[in-house]
Amino acid sequence: MKVLITAGPTREPIDPVRYLTNRSSGKMGYAIANAAAHAGHQVLLISGPTALDVPEGVDFLQIESAEEMYQAVADYLPRMDAGIFAAAVADYTPAVVPEQKIKKSDDSLTLKLVKTKDILGSAREIMGFRGFLVGFAAETENVEENAKLKLQKKGCDLVVANDVSRRDIGFDSSDNEAILVFRDRTELFEKAPKHDLAMYIVSMIGGAGVTTFKH
């Protein structure tokens, strides 16, 4: 199968030298890319800036901002059999980015932010993707309930929900624990190395017993 995977954080420019970002290390998405390549899939990894090495045998596209990630996904997703969206994409970005560095002046500074495009939410309706769609849900409360809503709203086949309020799993840790919400069932994947969860997710893409999304 041809598999597109997003990973890592995005960087939203404030001015030429500053940006907004988050704590995603890319470990989860890179582990999925590695597992998918080992399973014999043709993998395209689209990633924000991380300190990780690109897994062997994986095609790689480096992006910075949410808008760049949107454009890269829109270009490639329609040709893919599966899309796995592990990136922590900024939900908001500065409305205006000045060409010059913002100078220190007043005691406070207000930044106006505007919504970014929802890449996962555009996969079905806007990008016309008909393959197996996996979204992630980074939650700090009502993890399962929010993941179920995401599954419906975004037309996913699977939502992998992790509790990012915990320090031992989620962002920048080596392990993860997740609730896997399919269209017909929910499973708990107990705390384990991200590599193990990655292999499990890869084994599920288009796997037996999973109902592929139909319009």
Residues with catalytic annotation? 22
- Cβ atoms 62, 29 nearer than 8 A: no
Q: What is the DSSP letter of 189?
A: E
Among the listed ranges 20-28, 40-48, 183-191, 199-207, the one in contact with ligand PMT (CB under 6 A) is 20-28
Q: Which residues contact 137 (CB under 8 A, 6 or more apart)?
A: 143, 146, 147, 150, 159, 160, 161, 162
* Nearest distance, CB of residue 100 and ligand PMT, angstroms: 28
Q: x/- string (CB under 6 A) for ligand PMT, residues 29-48? A: --------------------
* Two tokens, residue 54: 């690109």
Q: How far apart are CA 11 and CA 18, in angstroms?
A: 9
* Nearest distance, CB of residue 105 and ligand PMT, angstroms: 32
- Cβ atoms 46, 5 nearer than 8 A: yes
Among residues 102 and 166, whose Cβ is nearest to ligand PMT? 166
Q: Does 86 bind ligand PMT (CB under 6 A)?
A: yes
Interface with ligand PMT (CB under 6 A) = 6, 8, 24-28, 66, 85-89, 91, 116, 118-120, 135-138, 162, 164, 170-172
